[in-house]
Amino acid sequence: MLNIKKYQFWFCTGSQDLYGEECLSHVAEHSQKIVEALNHSGNLPFEVVWKPTLVTNELIRGTFNEANIDENCAGVITWMHTFSPAKSWIHGLQEFRKPLLHLHTQFNREIPYDSIDMDFMNENQAAHGDREYGHIFSRLGMERKVVVGFWEDEDVQREIAAWMRTAVGVVESRHVRVMRVADNMRNVAVTEGDKVEAQIKFGWEVDAYPVNEIAEAVSAVQKGDVDALVEEYYDQYEILLEGRDEKDFREHVAVQAAIEIGFERFLEEKNYHALVTHFGDLGALKQLPGLAVQRLMEKGYGFGAEGDWKTAAMVRIMKIMTQGMKDSKGTSFMEDYTYNLVPGKEGILQSHMLEVCPSIAQGAISIKEQPLSMGGREDPARLVFTSKTGPAVAVSLIDLGDRFRLIINKVECKNVEKPMPKLPVATAFWTPQPDLKTGAQAWILAGGAHHTAFSYDLTAEQMGDWAEAMGIEAVYIDKDTTIRQFKNELRWNSMAFGK
């Protein structure tokens, strides 16, 4: 279900007809070589498509409008090989609606000291032309990503690759559809939000269904399909009976298998990419979807608990942004639960009642059954595991009433010191940057939620770029964060973004 389009990015080189045919033929040749090298580098997740050099207002305007209507084009990479008067770009840029990367590079790495003359300088003047071009974006107040460096360098290619993933997240955001099973949890503030504004800003369609309509889809699943999926679970996961009756255990697992199949059919049939549930409103469902939702997340669906559709949509987008990534470590819905405040070992234990995505698991995954302390249903089956270590990013999208804010925290995931044999849920443990005291203080000052969308595979920069493309406020909590500066940033942002 995570299969998204085979997106492409157009590579457009700017110039003008002042320099003569020979120069323009070099420009075309050089840009083709760069495109070829980028495509063969193995560093880019999507194909780059070369386009003829843009030399006139009409051609620029026409090309950007073609890019708008090409469904496979997720963005345009532009570079001024020579000088291209930026007034020529105004109409095209004003009409362009997709992500844009300004690649500030140069065909030659080194100044050819012995042979350089005026012809060479006129032909290779990105330092000049890219400044003229950059000016018009700033004048138009348009968002764009600027990447600087030599096109053959791996770090430059990796920056382009990271932006491509963000760009796909931006383009795909306008196709995200969230299915709400029941409403938000009563009295909870931070999981609420303006769904109309979310559709205007992010493109998300957020629809509610009565829980029993989904429960019907679950009860319609044939026993043969359920049994086959239970077999798959028993092959794939360790079974932790812990003294429970084997037959009874299997029957509880089968309830989750029916939920997985029923929910997935419902989501597919109605074309939804993310879902929310609420433990307090389960209708005819026998268990809170646990194992079932964990597996749906692993397949690429976004998820948020207690009706949290904002986090569900963010999880979906972040899963899209990481699609097909080599050595991916996983992306999940997550919740801040409890602290370790031992000096030098500070951190936040992350978990949820059940719903943590197994894509972030490290080592074996087991099935457990335990009572929920809330909801009053049958003991639900859930996947239990610990998570990978290393750097990651946790984000929270909140609605401040007059605007959205994305809070982006860099975190360091660690192993917990000791096993937690009595805890019947999947967990992660992390220390927020710059340290627990400052990180948690900044998070709380910014109004960040207890729910997050979490990923090992994305960077704070990518999430900030996504927010910029959406035209919303983003704040970073990282190694450079100080509380005094952060509070000022929030104040200043309220002037910049507030209505």
Note every long-range contact of 38-44, with CB atoms under 8 Å and residues 24 or more positions apart, other chains counting. 38/11, 38/151, 38/157, 38/160, 41/154, 41/157, 43/154, 43/157, 43/158, 43/160, 43/161, 44/157, 44/160, 44/161, 44/164
Least distance in angstroms from the C-beta of 274 to Mn ion: 16
Nearer to Mn ion, 157 or 331 (CB): 331
Nearer to Mn ion, 305 or 458 (CB): 305
Q: Phi and psi (nearest 5°) for 10?
A: -85, 140
Nearer to Mn ion, 265 or 377 (CB): 377
Least distance in angstroms from the C-beta of 352 to Mn ion: 6
| Residue carrying the six token digits 């992500």 | 99
Residue with the shortest CB distance to Mn ion:
305
Nearer to Mn ion, 123 or 306 (CB): 306
Nearer to Mn ion, 265 or 450 (CB): 450
Least distance in angstroms from the C-beta of 156 to Mn ion: 41
Nearer to Mn ion, 383 or 449 (CB): 449
Stretch that binds Mn ion, among 297-305, 387-395, 428-436, 458-466 (CB under 5 A): 297-305
- Interacting positions 334-353 with Mn ion (CB under 5 A): 335
Least distance in angstroms from the C-beta of 451 to Mn ion: 6
- Say whether residue 425 binds Mn ion (CB under 5 A): no
Least distance in angstroms from the C-beta of 419 to Mn ion: 24
The per-residue DSSP string of 411-448 comes to: EEE---SS--TT--S-BEEEEESS-HHHHHHHHHHHT-
Q: Phi and psi (nearest 5°) for 433?
A: -75, 150
Helix 195-202 × helix 309-321 angle, to 10°: 20
Nearer to Mn ion, 297 or 305 (CB): 305
**Count of beta carbons in the 10 Å neighbourhood of residue 439:** 24
3-state SS track over 216-271: HHHHCCCHHHHHHHHHHHHHHCEECCCCCCHHHHHHHHHHHHHHHHHHHHHHHHCC
Stretch that binds Mn ion, among 253-261, 300-308, 372-380, 394-402 (CB under 5 A): 300-308
Least distance in angstroms from the C-beta of 309 to Mn ion: 13
Nearer to Mn ion, 31 or 452 (CB): 452
Does the bond joining 112 to the residue before it have cis omega, within 30 degrees of 0? no
Give whole-number Cα distances, 37 to 53, 153, 208, in Å: 18, 11, 48
- Interacting residues of 140 by C-beta distance below 8 A, sequence separation 6+: 90, 93, 94
- Interacting positions 97-116 with Mn ion (CB under 5 A): none
Nearer to Mn ion, 257 or 274 (CB): 274
- Interacting positions 6-35 with Mn ion (CB under 5 A): none
> Residue 387 forms beta bridges with which residues?
361
Stretch that binds Mn ion, among 85-93, 258-266, 333-341, 421-429 (CB under 5 A): 333-341
Least distance in angstroms from the C-beta of 305 to Mn ion: 4
| Residue carrying the six token digits 């400052």 | 438
- Say whether residue 291 binds Mn ion (CB under 5 A): no
Query: CB–CB of 162/459 below 8 Å?
Result: yes
- Say whether residue 305 binds Mn ion (CB under 5 A): yes
Count of residues engaged in binding Mn ion, rule: CB under 5 A: 2
Q: Which two tokens stand for residue 17?
A: 């007809």
* Chain positions contacting Mn ion, by CB under 5 A: 305, 335
